[in-house]
A = this chain, B = another copy of it.
Amino acid sequence: MRKVAVISYGMTKVEKHWRKSLRELFGDAAKVALKDARVRGLDALIVGNMCASDLSDQNNIGALLADYLGVTPSMAYRVEAACGSGGAAVLSAYSAVASGMYDIVMTGGVEKLSDGVGGYTTLSLGKAADADYELFFGSSFVSLNALIMNYYMHTFHTPREAFADFAVLMHKNGARNPYAQLPFEITRETVMESDKIADPITLYDCAPVGDGAAAIILCPLEDAPKYAENFVEIAGIAGATDTINVASRSDLLSLNSTIVAADRAYKMAKLTPSDIDVAEIHDTFTITGALSLEDLGFCEKGKFAKSLEEKAFEHGGVVTVNPSGGLKSRGHPVGATGGYQLAEVTMQLLGKANRMQVPDAEIGLTHNIGGSGSSSFVSILRRAK
């Protein structure tokens, strides 16, 4: 198996891009990545997206974007695993390069959620759940996660305020991120007093709805010096699934797909959670962030609040979590989120993160979830040169 490097990346700011079409949005990110790498073209384009069929009337996005970028007849397809589409696309692109089939592969994702009229974006996002046994009965993502958050607080005697404090940290980080959708600081009270969405989840526990695109270019590690001065190695990468229906889980307070995917990725990289300097994790809701931190091995199960209080997840802590602001503040253009995470961690490891920079970051992790934990994709990146 060939080793794989990330040689460049590009991102758009996450916001409501009313004046950009799907292809223009991805094009903006892709052009930055193409400009920064000394590549002549792409052998393949493997792109994550969830909602374009619903919200932009567009499928066949691989060919659409290959055409727009002028890289036809490159091989192209779209990968979808709900909000984990970006992470799944990166895994698919990794295997395309690792196998020896393709040398220069662009991956990442694009999502335009703003165009959904009325409740249509919420319905479209709900299709990540079980259509027959959850969505049909009126469950939404926020309602399912509200049940989990209540149960977590009850089980581990965790104060509601701890979740608010996680959102505060995310916004503190995101305020330094020029690509963030919500780049401003908030207080505990902002979260506690914001509108109830599904008790106990309030508006500021939730990732916002926005548009964005992120692109990264992969190539064989041994060829990377030809294309870039500095690059990172994907040292580990894995995915895993769990029941799609939340009610069928054996343990509501663990994301088993995350536990398994992380375990596989750590083993592949021959690393452990304590080796990670910087992590971009999937915090759709503050409760999702809490479960993720525990299941990735960054703190004990049920102890998220204690670690947060001890500043374990801040700059200078045990692991710097979401210096981008995470889904909460950077934003969550669903099928692109996994692409953002790879781009952000690459940026950190190359020392190009400016005000977000984690000093001397050498090893980073990305963690992208589809549905309420039915799919997880984890990758571990290492500074190569």
- Given the complex of chains A and B, what is the CA–CA distance between A94 and B67 in angstroms? 24
- Given the complex of chains A and B, what is the CA–CA distance between A124 and B81 in angstroms? 19
Inside 8 A of A82's CB, which chain B residues have their CB? 59-60, 63
Tell yes or no: A8 within 8 A of B by CB.
no
Q: Are A95 and B88 in contact (CB under 8 A)?
A: no
The total of chain A residues at the interface (CB under 8 A) is 73
Q: How far is the CB of A73 from chain B (nearest CB, A)?
A: 4
Give me the 4 closest cross-chain CB pairs, A-B, nearest first. A99-B99, A75-B239, A63-B374, A60-B82
Inside 8 A of A243's CB, which chain B residues have their CB? 67, 72
Inside 8 A of A375's CB, which chain B residues have their CB? 60, 62-63, 76-77
Residue among B85, B238, B241 making CB contact with A72, cutoff 8 Å: B241
Q: Are B76 and A127 in contact (CB under 8 A)?
A: no
Inside 8 A of A62's CB, which chain B residues have their CB? 80-81, 88, 241, 370, 375
Residue among B59, B94, B238, B248 making CB contact with A50, cutoff 8 Å: B59
- Given the complex of chains A and B, what is the CA–CA distance between A248 and B64 in angstroms? 12
Given contacts A1-B100, A64-B130, contact A88 B77 (CB under 8 A): yes
Tell yes or no: A328 within 8 A of B by CB.
no
Tell yes or no: A57 within 8 A of B by CB.
yes
* A89 closest partner in B (C-beta): B77
Q: Are A76 and B241 in contact (CB under 8 A)?
A: yes
Q: Are A257 and B53 in contact (CB under 8 A)?
A: no
Interface string of A242-277 (1 = CB under 8 A from B): 111100100000001100110000000000000000
- Given the complex of chains A and B, what is the CA–CA distance between A257 and B123 in angstroms? 35
Q: Are B59 and A127 in contact (CB under 8 A)?
A: yes
* A373 closest partner in B (C-beta): B63
Q: Are B257 and A73 in contact (CB under 8 A)?
A: yes
Inside 8 A of A78's CB, which chain B residues have their CB? 79-81
- Given the complex of chains A and B, what is the CA–CA distance between A160 and B242 in angstroms? 53
Q: Are B245 and A67 in contact (CB under 8 A)?
A: yes
Tell yes or no: A32 within 8 A of B by CB.
no
Q: Are A241 and B67 in contact (CB under 8 A)?
A: yes
Tell yes or no: A213 within 8 A of B by CB.
no
Inside 8 A of A135's CB, which chain B residues have their CB? 57
- Given the complex of chains A and B, what is the CA–CA distance between A62 and B89 in angstroms? 13
- Given the complex of chains A and B, what is the CA–CA distance between A84 and B74 in angstroms? 15
Interface string of A128-170 (1 = CB under 8 A from B): 1111100110000000000000000000000000000000000
* A92 closest partner in B (C-beta): B92
- Given the complex of chains A and B, what is the CA–CA distance between A75 and B128 in angstroms? 16
Q: Are A72 and B127 in contact (CB under 8 A)?
A: no
Residue among B80, B92, B240 making CB contact with A74, cutoff 8 Å: B240
Q: How far is the CB of A24 from chain B (nearest CB, A)?
A: 10
* A245 closest partner in B (C-beta): B67
Tell yes or no: A54 within 8 A of B by CB.
yes
- Given the complex of chains A and B, what is the CA–CA distance between A64 and B71 in angstroms? 33
Interface string of A89-108 (1 = CB under 8 A from B): 00110111011111000000
Tell yes or no: A58 within 8 A of B by CB.
yes
